[in-house]
Structure 1
């Protein structure tokens, strides 16, 4: 059982404990947290509390995360947005709000559940919970993912990620007006030593490089294109926060006073790779989702 200590920050004063803890974990649902509270897995300053407990700044919350129960991944029909498919690889456009693979708190409704209903042949390298999954994007990030349909394709696609030859372009709306048109963020990312459910810039982290280009300035926001050279967890979200321009709507790395968007405004719009069998370079583009374009149009009108 994993034990996590969390001290409530000044700006979190008065927030319900179930809501606060659900925001700490990447894949923790509020109902799951409420069950942990009922089961006595969560205490505040050494005392048991109820799910509606209002946190006070400097409260010490201790979370004992239960060992995950084995999951049986069931196929679910869900009308996936498939951009490309052949005998080796599949490219899918994941909607915002969908988790990529099952995890505690998200046993169903994930991309993997949908893939298993759509396609009977998926690589088994990542085990039963992540069949075919070569790389991931966050739940509230939309966009393109490549999926391997056999182990040979999986190994070759992963090698391209290691060799940094995969094209990955993201579109993000960030806080503040970035004055320069181009930039490169080269800062190592690792687990946050204080908030273990978050990532941070740290000397002990792994190399992480993001190139960005300003596409449009919509004061007090900026639309940027980010090109990943590496693929660390939460890389764009952490890097843009690092340079003082966190993503709009980001509940983990952004300001609390932000636009209401149900998560970060981030879209994996371009994906390119060499086909694992033929070696031919293939590139795919997915337009911005409706919520993203509607938000931009509203900002343009105000601007």
Structure 2
């Protein structure tokens, strides 16, 4: 074990909380803390313990340390470094619903959900911070309130947590696949059947690590259900419900099935595919598309505090709606 003097902890003065164990618990430290500080998850405390921000009797221990009578516990929360501090940036937000605990927005295409490499400013998180008086501070420092994500060029319904309790409950709902997520996708080709299921394993692409790919030997199970909403000669509009939420799941699954999403340069639906269209008018129209035509159309879940059923439908982004009008 390391003593307190041997640690270099960057904290904001006094500990966030402290405890003295008054019972013979024989309970894991991370479980104890998650039960006594319900605004933070067990995984959050596990990370704090591993980072040396939780001490027992002024010593660093492991998350599985079994507490004993008389143990003194102190917990610090890390301070964001200057470059990690988020500055609110006002931006137009299409709000579908908002209360003290959650906010549901219709994310515009082209907007990155949270800061990351190459996207330090102008993200949805920056806009939410400018609009909301608070966001849940769970998770990574750069992702306050974010319980799920949409790709940069995917539009549609997204929920964020404003309170800590809402964050933990929503994370659990997503983990247990109790959130209903339905998308609209314009794809190349005309499926022979009216609908079906795509069930595969997804893993990182063996060559391009920025991409995902269907894997036979390893990966995480991904399940997508699809049905044809409308079909034309060379393209179709699909309604896709995902039972799992893997990275790029719909885009990879539809590409794997031979029907890549229109405008998806990464997974075979880009300009090269557009040039293969027989209809020259359609070809010229699709060559102007600069993002994947994928929209998170419907989102349903249980309110994290009242437990009332909530359901939201996000109107199509203007470019997607105009494209469908042109096709019709």
Q: Provide TM-score, normalisation by structure 2.
A: 0.69
Partner residue, 1:215: 229
2:288 is equivalent to residue 275 of structure 1: no
Check the 8 A contact 1:71/1:107 in 2, yes or no. Answer: no
Deviations 1:117-142 (A, max 9, x none): 00121111123210000000000000
Check the 8 A contact 1:140/1:262 in 2, yes or no. Answer: no
Partner residue, 1:138: 151
Partner residue, 1:190: 203
Matches within 5 A, 1:55-94: 70-94=83-107
Deviation at 1:219, TM superposition (A): 1.6
Query: Alignment partner of 1:227: what SS?
Result: strand
Further displaced range: 258-267 or 185-194: 258-267
2:238 is equivalent to residue 224 of structure 1: yes
Partner residue, 1:24: none
From 264, 268, 271, give the equivalent of 1:254: 268
The count of corresponding residues between Structure 1 and Structure 2 is 232
Partner residue, 2:252: 238
CA distance in 2, matches of 1:132, 1:222: 35
Check the 8 A contact 1:141/1:265 in 2, yes or no. Answer: yes
Runs of 4+ displaced beyond 6 Å: none
From 141, 147, 152, give the equivalent of 2:160: 147
CA distance in 2, matches of 1:137, 1:124: 20
- Computing the radius of gyration over CA atoms, which structure comes out larger, 1 or 2? 2
**Root-mean-square deviation (CA), in Å?**
1.2
CA distance in 1, matches of 2:188, 2:273: 10
- Unmatched 5+ stretches in structure 2: 1-81, 275-285
Partner residue, 2:126: 113
Deviation at 1:72, TM superposition (A): 3.2
Check the 8 A contact 1:89/1:147 in 2, yes or no. Answer: yes
CA distance in 1, matches of 2:313, 2:234: 28
Q: Provide TM-score, normalisation by structure 1.
A: 0.75
CA distance in 2, matches of 1:218, 1:238: 22
Deviation at 1:105, TM superposition (A): 1.0
2:182 is equivalent to residue 166 of structure 1: no
Check the 8 A contact 1:112/1:130 in 2, yes or no. Answer: yes
CA distance in 2, matches of 1:208, 1:70: 36
2:108 is equivalent to residue 95 of structure 1: yes
Deviation at 1:70, TM superposition (A): 4.0
